Amino acid sequence: MQLYRLRRRNGVLHLNREQQASPTPGVREVAVRITAASLNYRDLLILGERYGGDAEGVIPLSDGVGVVTAVGGGVTRFKVGDRVAGCFFQHWSSGNPTEHGSRSALGGQLPGVLAEEVCLCEEGVIHFPDFLTDEEASTLPCAALTAWNSLFTRGALHNQQSVLLMGTGGVSLFGLQFAVAAGARTIITSSSNAKLDRARSLGANETINYRTHPEWDAEVLKLTNGQGVDQIIEVGGSGTLERSLQALNYGGHIGLVGVLAGQSSVDPFPLALRNGTISGIYVGSREQFEAMNHFIDKHQIHPVVDRVFSFADAPRAYEYLASGKHFGKVVIRVGG
């Protein structure tokens, strides 16, 4: 079979296409023929060696779906022919996160899914809604579950709330789609008016161009009659957190997801003043994944796939994601 590994050339990691024997599932493992895989910002950080640890030799990507081709001893949840998705964390089935579970991420501590065939733990595999294409389903394990965890598991979203989404990457657009389906009021930001128009077509109630309105927190307050929003999916990290704190309603919740905007010193007093909460969000458990899939199935939500690349063009998929031109998810079609 064919796969990609991260290999260092001239001191820099690159995607290297290689061949190796197909894996054989062990006890409580399933073999999966991967059909589609999707990229996350995390994958760019790992390739650029900005994620911690030595990634030399790693099979990249956490998000992939495919068809079960064989099952190991003791497997009871799956059979040959099942369409399945791998869970981001192979050993976080339910409950609170643990160190053991947090060290079982695909494409990092464990081999990833940018390969024609992989073996995954039975507890780290899940069925996904039948109405989704493989390309759509491949976007769910990380970005979608991150948004779900922030809004519903940690934020207890309901239809009387308002939600602020930042940008039009995968996590933010899933957050938008979930919030719209839940009946919440949604505000989304971007530096592109064209992308904001597309966000409106997905149900965004209000949009803010943060280039023309660099003090976008003040715009959020204007749109909410000075109250602020009840929930924020904060993908900018400390570079935007200060403005998020100013845009938060009393008793509001911020799901801290990413660090896209760099670092700054943040005064925590506005959070205390508002009796607000900040939750660190690192994807989620298989149980949360199952709850999210039920919601997706109920509301027939189709993930936003910007562009699909061939397996041979995997390096170009990375380049396209890094360009920031995408609206939604970037996917690699691995096999038929």
What span, in angstroms and rounded, lies between the C-alpha atoms of 207 and 320? 25
Work out whether strand 125-127 and strand 117-121 pair parallel, antiparallel, or are unpaired. Answer: unpaired
Collect all residues with Cβ–Cβ distance below 8 Å to 82 and sequence separation of at least 6: 67, 68, 127
| 127 has pLDDT over 90 | yes
Q: How many H helices and E strands in the chain?
A: 11, 15
CA-closest candidate to residue 114, choices 7, 267, 256? 7
State how far the Cα of 122 lies from the Cα of 194, in Å rounded to an integer.
42
Name the burial class of residue 274, with classes exposed (0-12), middle (13-18) and buried (19+) by CB atoms within 10 angstroms of its CB.
middle
Closest by alpha carbon to 41, among 332, 329, 333?
A: 329
Give the position of tokens 């190796």: 20
- Structural contact between residues 34 and 67, judged by C-beta atoms closer than 8 angstroms: no
Residue 186: Cβ within 10 Å count: 26
Alpha carbons 117 and 246: distance in angstroms, whole number:
47
pTM of the complete model beyond 0.85: yes
Categorize the per-residue pLDDT at 270 as very low, low, confident or very high, splitting at 50, 70 and 90. Answer: confident
- What mean pLDDT comes out for the span 108-122? 97
CA–CA gap between residue 252 and residue 226 (Å, rounded): 14
Per-residue model confidence as pLDDT tens digits over 208-248? 999 999 999 999 999 999 999 999 999 986 678 999 999 99
- Euclidean distance between CA atoms 174 and 300, whole angstroms: 13
Which candidate, 144, 101, 118, places its Cα nearest to that of 2? Answer: 118
In percent, the amount of the chain with pLDDT more than 90 equals: 90
Number of C-beta neighbours around residue 81 at 10 A: 8
Nearest residue to 146 (alpha-carbon basis) of 154, 135, 137: 154
Q: pLDDT tens across 22-81, in order?
A: 999 999 999 999 999 999 999 999 999 988 888 999 999 999 999 999 999 999 999 999
Q: What is the pLDDT of residues 91-105, one digit of tens each?
A: 999 999 999 999 999
